[in-house]
Amino acid sequence: MVAVDQLEDIAKQVRRDTLVMLNRAGSGHTGGSLSSVEILTALFFSKMRHKPLDPLWDQRDRFVLSKGHAAPAFYAVLARCGYFPLEDLVSLRKLGSHLQGHPDCKFTPGVEVSTGSLGQGLSMANGISLALKLDGKPSRVYVLLGDGEVQEGQIWEAAMSAAHYKLDNLCAILDHNHLQIDGTVEEVMNIEPLSDKWRAFGWKVFNINGHDYAQILTAFDKAERTKGQPSIIIAETIKGKGVSFFENKVEYHGVAPTDEELERALRELEFDSQRG
Amino acid sequence: MGVREAYGETLARLGEVYKDIVVLDADLSGSTKTCIFAKRFPERFFNMGISEQDLMGTAAGLAAAGKIPFVSTFAIFATGRAWEQIRQSIAYSSLNVKIVASHGGITVGDDGGSHQAIEDIALMRHLPNMVVIVPTDAIEMKSIIETIVEYNGPVYVRGSRIKFPIIFDDSYKFEIGKGHVLLKGSDVTIVATGYMVHSSLEAAQRLAQEGIYVEVISMPTIKPLDEVLLLKSAAKTNAVVTVEEHLVTGGLGSAVSEVLSENYPTTLKRIGIRDKFGISGKPKQLLSHFGLTPHNIVEAAKEVLGKKKKRVSLKVVATG
Ligand SMILES: Cc1ncc(C[n+]2csc(CCOP(=O)(O)OP(=O)(O)O)c2C)c(N)n1
Ligand SMILES: [Mg+2]
């Protein structure tokens, strides 16, 4: 298992990669990528059993990025794990690149299913979980949801199904950064009481700080020990996390850093890593 | 036997052989006939409740993990309610999901327009990677299911509520993308699909009595369309009628006219529903209400024949 301080170093690299990719692409989703970095690195560098050089290894745990717009952070994590060369990252969103604007399983190793249209990933994760259970495989399935995303009706259809079919091999993580595009989740369409809703739908709920590795990893382990029902980890996060002038800023949901912003952001991350 | 029953029984039989088949329904397993599979293989049957979007998404996940999901509900809910799930979660990644719907077209009858899918072929035909199939009888349906289980990729099969007459014999073998000349003729080509194949055969008999010999083509695969067969026949008859229990826009009529316009512009008449929703009534009543009877087909064949003759004589005048 990778130590927490190592995970923190990886997270910093992933943040840098993400910012550079977004800057080179000139478009993409900065805020929601940065809020997911710890969750993604904890999964791919510590929790999940997988083989980057054998992406279809049949014993692997599966991951579905239901909030597909966080693709930059996801790709950075995949590249850092070794699914494809780091040099590929800057081809994000470019013609001919295997790194599409949103995850596309046709092109990118490590991407299990294509996402981008919000609200659809949980059903697909359920389907994968059902298939694994039918085959008697011990693999687990992880799916990352956005907090705005759970306004989609299909999420609640899928929430029902996962509990109905007792998908205890499934663990959802909700990136609860409290922001979506048009404003705060509370203003746009309130989803609270969130934990009560999932509990009422038959899920085991864990509430954690989504930037704290100890809490993230403990929650993954507890979810794994939960039997007879699916688990959801509601992770309190900060949109834009790691770059002070992006943090909690609704306007940085879907814009890429300019050259000047990139420079400032990288300097901040550098300073942090020297301090930390 | 109806096409639904043929589907249900074939699926249950294939379930013995193909251990990776899983079946999903949305609270309509009695109507779609997936209940037969459900009874035999309860552990591989998933009732997803009345939630068609989740139905399609779950099927996508099962396919992504190597299963062969067959998904059934009424045609309108499968293709309408869950269209974007089919697009994003299934077709976009070309996942191996078989959507076999029942209750296509207006012959759904009494339930009325809300339950009659008249646009489902159009909705599915416009999705890249999607194969679109409409069975002609129960024997063909059986062969369709046996064929698509071996095909890797998304498929939409449009079944019907009503029973169809049987025209094929047990030796019949369906092939994706292959149409069939059921009757040879040189005056007019009639291209039909689903129940309309039977009405077209009846129309052809009546026309023969009047000395008009039509070629009847059944097109079980709407996409990919059997262009070679179509163009060969059109080149012979120079007059084409399409017949479908669907809007004339987006379905078989559109597919045929697209191919003809680009390759061999031909006098054409499309029979189908013209910019209207269905209504309640008995299937037979509705077919005549919407102009989908053998009589309508006879009239259309005469119309294109007349136009063709006029064209030929105009050409003679112009060149002569
Ligand atoms: C079905 C659908 N509707 C709209 C969008 C456009 N969209 C992209 S991101 C987003 C906001 C997502 O908010 P949230 O789930 O909270 O994500 P995060 O804050 O983690 O970025 C929207 C509306 C989409 N991708 N899919
Ligand atoms: Mg959010």
B203 and B263 fall within a common domain: yes
**Residue A173, ligand 1, Cβ within 6 A:** no
Cα A173 vs. chain centroid, distance in angstroms? Answer: 8
How far is the C-alpha of A102 from the C-alpha of A84, rounded, in Å? 17
Using the structure block, give the residue that is written with the tokens 């269905």. B278
pTM of the model: 0.94
Query: Contact A241/A212 with Cβ under 8 angstroms?
Result: no
For residue B265, say if its preceding peptide bond is cis, omega within 30 degrees of 0. no
Using the structure block, give the residue that is written with the tokens 């599966």. A62
Chain A residues whose C-beta is within 8 A of a chain B C-beta are: 62, 104-106, 112-117, 119-120, 122-132, 134-135, 153-154, 157-158, 160-161, 164-165
What CATH number corresponds to the domain at position A38? 3.40.50.970
For residue B224, say if its preceding peptide bond is cis, omega within 30 degrees of 0. yes
Strands A170-176, A204-209: pairing kind: unpaired
Residue of chain A whose Cα is closest to the Cα of B42: A134
CB contact, 8 Å: B88 with chain A?
A: yes
What pLDDT, on a 0 to 100 scale, did the predictor assign at position A276? 43
> Comparing C-alpha atoms, which of A88, A84, A11, A87 is closest to residue A45?
A11
Sign of CA dihedral A70, A72, A75, A79: negative
CA distance A218 to chain B (A): 27
The residues pairing with B216 across neighbouring beta strands, listed in sequence order, are B183, B190
Q: How many other C-beta atoms are found inside a 10 Å radius of the C-beta of residue B109?
A: 20
Q: CB-CB: which of B54, B93, B95 is closest to A157?
A: B54
Residue of chain B whose Cα is closest to the Cα of A128: B61
Q: CB-CB: which of B51, B57, B84 is closest to A127?
A: B57
What pLDDT, on a 0 to 100 scale, did the predictor assign at position B11? 98
* Position A43 in a domain: yes
> Comparing C-alpha atoms, which of B164, B155, B161 is closest to residue B131?
B155
Q: Which atom of ligand 1 is nearest to the CA of A147?
A: 16
What is the extent of the structural domain holding B278? 180-319
What pLDDT, on a 0 to 100 scale, did the predictor assign at position A273? 61
B137 and B203 fall within a common domain: no
Q: CB-CB: which of A120, A160, A165 is closest to B89?
A: A120
What CATH number corresponds to the domain at position B204? 3.40.50.920
> Comparing C-alpha atoms, which of B205, B225, B216, B174 is closest to residue B294?
B205
Q: Which two tokens stand for residue A31?
A: 């805020």
B56 and B138 fall within a common domain: yes
B11 and B124 fall within a common domain: yes
B148 and B243 fall within a common domain: no
* Position B297 in a domain: yes
- Alpha carbon distances (Å) from A254 to A18, A150, A210, B83: 13, 18, 21, 26
> Comparing C-alpha atoms, which of B63, B107, B66, B109 is closest to residue B86?
B63
CB contact, 8 Å: B43 with chain A?
A: yes
Angle between helices A153-164 and A121-134 (to 10 degrees): 20
* Position A44 in a domain: yes
C-beta atoms of A127 and B58 within 8 A:
yes
* Position A275 in a domain: no
Domain count, chain B: 2
Query: Contact A122/A172 with Cβ under 8 angstroms?
Result: yes
Angle between helices A71-81 and A4-25 (to 10 degrees): 120
B110 and B228 fall within a common domain: no
How far is the C-alpha of B294 from the C-alpha of B216, rounded, in Å? 13
* Position A273 in a domain: no
B108 and B245 fall within a common domain: no
Q: How many other C-beta atoms are found inside a 10 Å radius of the C-beta of residue B114?
A: 10
Q: Which two tokens stand for residue B69?
A: 């999901």
Helix ranges (H only) for A201-253 are 213-225
State the number of CA atoms in the 13 A half-sphere of B228 facing the CB: 4
What CATH number corresponds to the domain at position B41? 3.40.50.970
How far is the C-alpha of A33 from the C-alpha of A14, rounded, in Å? 10
How far is the C-alpha of B156 from the C-alpha of B100, rounded, in Å? 6
What pLDDT, on a 0 to 100 scale, did the predictor assign at position A274? 62
For B208-233, the pLDDT digits (tens) are 999 999 999 999 999 999 999 999 99
* Position B164 in a domain: no
* Position B172 in a domain: no
B29 and B154 fall within a common domain: yes
Query: Contact A100/A87 with Cβ under 8 angstroms?
Result: no
Sheet holding B188-192, edge to edge: B180-183, B214-218, B188-192, B239-247, B267-273
B114 and B33 fall within a common domain: yes
Q: How far apart are the first and last CA of chain B?
A: 57
Residue nearest to atom 21 of ligand 1 (CA): A32
How far does the centroid of ligand 1 lie from the alpha carbon of residue A149, in Å? 6
How far is the C-alpha of B60 from the C-alpha of B91, rounded, in Å? 9
B264 and B151 fall within a common domain: no
**What backbone torsions phi and psi does residue A256 show, to the nearest 5 degrees?**
-90, 155
Domain count, chain A: 1
* Position B166 in a domain: no
Find the ligand nearest to A154 CA. Answer: 1
A41-45, A70-74, B273-277, B308-312: which range is least confident on average? B308-312
State the number of CA atoms in the 13 A half-sphere of A235 facing the CB: 33
Q: How many other C-beta atoms are found inside a 10 Å radius of the C-beta of residue B102?
A: 26
* Position B90 in a domain: yes
Give the CA-trace dihedral at B32, B37, B38, B39, to 10 degrees: 120
What's chain B's average pLDDT?
97
For B75-132, the pLDDT digits (tens) are 999 999 999 999 999 999 999 999 999 999 999 999 999 999 999 999 999 999 999 9
For testing the chain B interface, which of A57, A124, A143 should be mutated: the one with the most B CBs within 10 Å?
Answer: A124
Helix (H, G, I), strand (E, B) or coil at A233: strand
How far is the C-alpha of B103 from the C-alpha of B160, rounded, in Å? 4
B78 and B147 fall within a common domain: yes
Confidence of residue B278 (pLDDT cuts 50, 70, 90): very high
Interface predicted TM-score (ipTM) of this complex, two decimals = 0.91
Three-class DSSP labels, chain B:
CCHHHHHHHHHHHHHHHCCCEEEEECCCHHHHCCHHHHHHCHHHEEECCCCHHHHHHHHHHHHHCCCEEEEECEHHHHHHHCHHHHHHHHHHHCCCCEEEEECECHHHCCCCHHHCECCHHHHHHCCCCCEEECCCCHHHHHHHHHHHCCCCCCEEEECCCCCCCCCCCCCCCCCCCCCEEEECCCCEEEEECCCHHHHHHHHHHHHHHCCCCEEEEECCEEECCCHHHHHHHHHHHCEEEEEEEEECCCCHHHHHHHHHHHHCCCEEEEEEECCCCCCCCCHHHHHHHCCCCHHHHHHHHHHHHHHHHHHHHHHHHHHC
What pLDDT, on a 0 to 100 scale, did the predictor assign at position B314? 82
* Position A72 in a domain: yes
C-beta atoms of A128 and B64 within 8 A:
yes
* Position A276 in a domain: no
Longest dimension (CA), chain A: 52
Confidence of residue B318 (pLDDT cuts 50, 70, 90): confident
Residue of chain A whose Cα is closest to the Cα of B56: A123
* Position B173 in a domain: no
- Which pLDDT tens digits describe chain A residue by residue (276 residues)? 689 999 999 999 999 999 999 999 999 999 999 999 999 999 999 999 999 999 999 999 999 999 999 999 999 999 999 999 999 999 999 999 999 999 999 999 999 999 999 999 999 999 999 999 999 999 999 999 999 999 999 999 999 999 999 999 999 999 999 999 999 999 999 999 999 999 999 999 999 999 999 999 999 999 999 999 999 999 999 999 999 999 999 999 999 999 999 999 999 998 766 654
What is the extent of the structural domain holding A207? 4-268
Using the structure block, give the residue that is written with the tokens 């039909």. B192
How far is the C-alpha of B241 from the C-alpha of B259, rounded, in Å? 14
C-beta atoms of A160 and B46 within 8 A:
no
Q: Mean pLDDT over residues B189-212, rounded? A: 98
Sign of CA dihedral A187, A188, A190, A191: negative
* Position B120 in a domain: yes
> Comparing C-alpha atoms, which of B160, B240, B232, B227 is closest to residue B196?
B160
The amino acid at A245: F
Helix (H, G, I), strand (E, B) or coil at A176: strand
Q: Which atom of ligand 1 is nearest to the CA of A32?
A: 21
Q: Mean pLDDT over residues B260-281, rounded? A: 97
- End-of-domain residue from the set B158, B193, B219: B158
